[in-house]
Amino acid sequence: MRRTRVAAAVVTAFALVTGTAACGGGGSGADSDTIELWLMGDKAKAMDTVSTAFTAETGIKVKVQSIPWKNARDKMSTAIASGDGPDVVQVGHSFLAEFADAGALLDLSDKVAGTPELAAANFFPASAETMQVGGKVVSVPWIADTRVLFYRTDVLQEAGYPQAPATWDELKGTATKLAARGDGNYGIGLNTDDQFLPIILTWQAGGEVAQGDRATFDTAPFRRAVEFERSFFTAGLTPKKAQPDADMVQGFKTGKIPMFVSGPYMATLLGNQAPELAGKWAVAPMPKDRTGTSLMAGSNLAIFSESEKADESVQLMAYLSRKQTQEQWFQATNDLPARQDSLEALGSGGDANLAVYYRQMSDAKIVPQIKAWGAVAPEMVRLMQQVCVGDNQPESAITGFAAKAGELTGAG
């Protein structure tokens, strides 16, 4: 497959980011009737099964390459610099603005307009917002994710709570009573390295964290959000040591950490690593302050700007976006569909947790599509570590963080 070099400005930008010099085109050697798909994670085998049906229907073969999530940004950056990339690529929401700004993603505006399976109305509203960057459609939602409250139903029942907490006050009260069990038990597991929780809490407090391309953290709702999360640490309701997923699962198994906030992937981990807990845990929508808004995360499908098989790639994206295909992909991988009707249908099958995910995704927002957000995120983590487990006072730390975030996003 012949590739051409991308614009010199794009090459320069990503060479600076990655330290990778442009190495020229080259091509993958794929057959003329084959399109290349870069899939993040380790689900190539599942895609081989799904794409077999696509090939039988269209005659178009699909060559799948798995890319570890931790290498996704560097891999894509190298492809942009060299002009030698896939035809279709899975892109996490947090990378869309950066890659689109670099000219790496094909403008799909006209192609989506003529393809019903790719219509924005098919997807959750927050997911549909990710389709456009700079007024152009550059990707299509595929996998959806959100944050909900995981809780041990048996532990809360024993403590006198037959239902999950539904408000901030109830969450604090429930965590306080659960922590009062003593003997190393906590009320909830929160992580200061979770860059998204302060944003979710800000939305729930009635605020926003960006205006246009400018980060806006020097606000009363953000200060309320930080103070609320911090209060769990200062009261000893959550461990001060960061809890990796494995530790969170272990704490959930023992009941020492009977609640935590996370995404649906943790349900898969619990099923694999703590099958004995079946029937003893559930998920609930995020407890409310002014709202119960949560995060809409996930990943989209895009076409690499240097692809010479755009029409065939659109056919694959349309096939993967069909209601039946999205449900089939969930059955194979546990990845939640971005299509509303697919998740609604799955939730109506008796799995109460899927119904909660559907309800929460209907009240969710995306992280601002700001290309400098990747630089803001570690500053957010640093802030939460300073005020939750360090000695910094929130007022001055938040002021400094807000100024830094404004500087990084061009408002300094």
Cα dihedral 76, 60, 132, 93, rounded to 10, equals -40
pLDDT the model gives residue 81: 85
> What one-character DSSP code corresponds to residue 290?
S
Q: CA 176 to CA 167: how far, in whole Å?
A: 14
Residue range 398-406: average pLDDT?
A: 95
Question: In this model, does residue 17 exceed pLDDT 80?
Answer: no
Q: CA 316 to CA 310: how far, in whole Å?
A: 10
Query: What confidence category does residue 354 fall into, taking pLDDT thresholds of 50, 70 and 90?
Result: very high
Question: In this model, does residue 216 exceed pLDDT 80?
Answer: yes
Question: In this model, does residue 31 exceed pLDDT 80?
Answer: no
Q: Which two tokens stand for residue 331?
A: 């059955």
DSSP string of 298-342? EEEEEEBTT-S-HHHHHHHHHHHTSHHHHHHHHHHH-PEESBHHH
pLDDT the model gives residue 241: 85
Residue range 189-210: average pLDDT?
A: 96
Q: What pLDDT, in 10s, does the model give residues 68-118? A: 888 888 888 888 888 889 999 999 988 898 899 889 999 999 999 999 999
Please give, one letter per residue, the 3-state secondary structure of 377-398.
HHHHHHHHHHHHCCCCCHHHHH
Contacts of 130 (CB under 8 A, 6+ apart): 93, 96, 139, 141, 298, 300, 366, 369
Q: Which residue has the higher pLDDT, 197 or 93?
A: 197
pLDDT the model gives residue 290: 98
> What one-character DSSP code corresponds to residue 367?
P
Q: What percentage of the chain has pLDDT greater than the value 70?
A: 92
Question: In this model, does residue 20 exceed pLDDT 90?
Answer: no
Of 29-33, 377-381, 382-386, least confident by mean pLDDT is: 29-33
Three-state DSSP at 260 gives strand
Residue 90 dihedral angles phi and psi, to the nearest 5°: -85, 125
pLDDT the model gives residue 411: 54
pLDDT the model gives residue 4: 40
Contacts of 53 (CB under 8 A, 6+ apart): none
Question: In this model, does residue 8 exceed pLDDT 60?
Answer: no
Strand (E) or helix (H) holding 64: strand 61-67
Question: In this model, does residue 255 exceed pLDDT 80?
Answer: yes
Give whichever of 80-89, 90-99, 216-225, 366-375 has the largest mean pLDDT.
Answer: 216-225
Q: State the number of CA atoms in the 13 A half-sphere of 353 facing the CB.
A: 23
DSSP string of 166-228? -BHHHHHHHHHHHHTT-TT--S-B--TT-SSHHHHHHHHTT--SEETTEE---SHHHHHHHHH
pLDDT the model gives residue 386: 95
Residue 356: which of 305, 407, 281, 406 has the closest Cα? 281
Query: What confidence category does residue 15 fall into, taking pLDDT thresholds of 50, 70 and 90?
Result: very low
Q: CA 228 to CA 170: how far, in whole Å?
A: 13
Question: In this model, does residue 1 exceed pLDDT 50?
Answer: no
Encoded amino acid at 33, one letter: D
Q: State the number of CA atoms in the 13 A half-sphere of 95 facing the CB.
A: 24
Of 70-84, 180-194, 197-211, 255-269, least confident by mean pLDDT is: 70-84
pLDDT the model gives residue 30: 55
Q: Which two tokens stand for residue 40?
A: 């993040």
Residue range 328-336: average pLDDT?
A: 94
Question: In this model, does residue 11 exceed pLDDT 60?
Answer: no
Of 49-58, 268-277, 338-347, 372-381, least confident by mean pLDDT is: 372-381
Q: What is the mean pLDDT of the chain?
A: 90
Query: What confidence category does residue 25 fall into, taking pLDDT thresholds of 50, 70 and 90?
Result: very low
pLDDT the model gives residue 13: 36
What per-residue string of b and e applies to 331-362 under the rule 16 or more CB within 10 Å gives b? Answer: eebebbbbbbebbebbbeeeeebbbbbbbbbb
pLDDT the model gives residue 80: 84
Q: What pLDDT, in 10s, does the model give residues 306-322? A: 999 999 999 999 999 99
**What's the alpha-carbon Rg for the chain, to the nearest Å?**
22
Q: How far is CA 62 from CA 52, 78, 129, in A?
A: 8, 22, 28
Query: What confidence category does residue 254 fall into, taking pLDDT thresholds of 50, 70 and 90?
Result: very high
CB neighbour class for 219 (10 Å; exposed up to 12, middle 13-18, buried from 19): middle
Residue range 277-304: average pLDDT?
A: 97
Please give, one letter per residue, the 3-state secondary structure of 87-130.
CEEEEEHHHHHHHHHCCCECCCHHHHHCCHHHCHHHECHHHHHC
Q: CA 11 to CA 78: how far, in whole Å?
A: 9
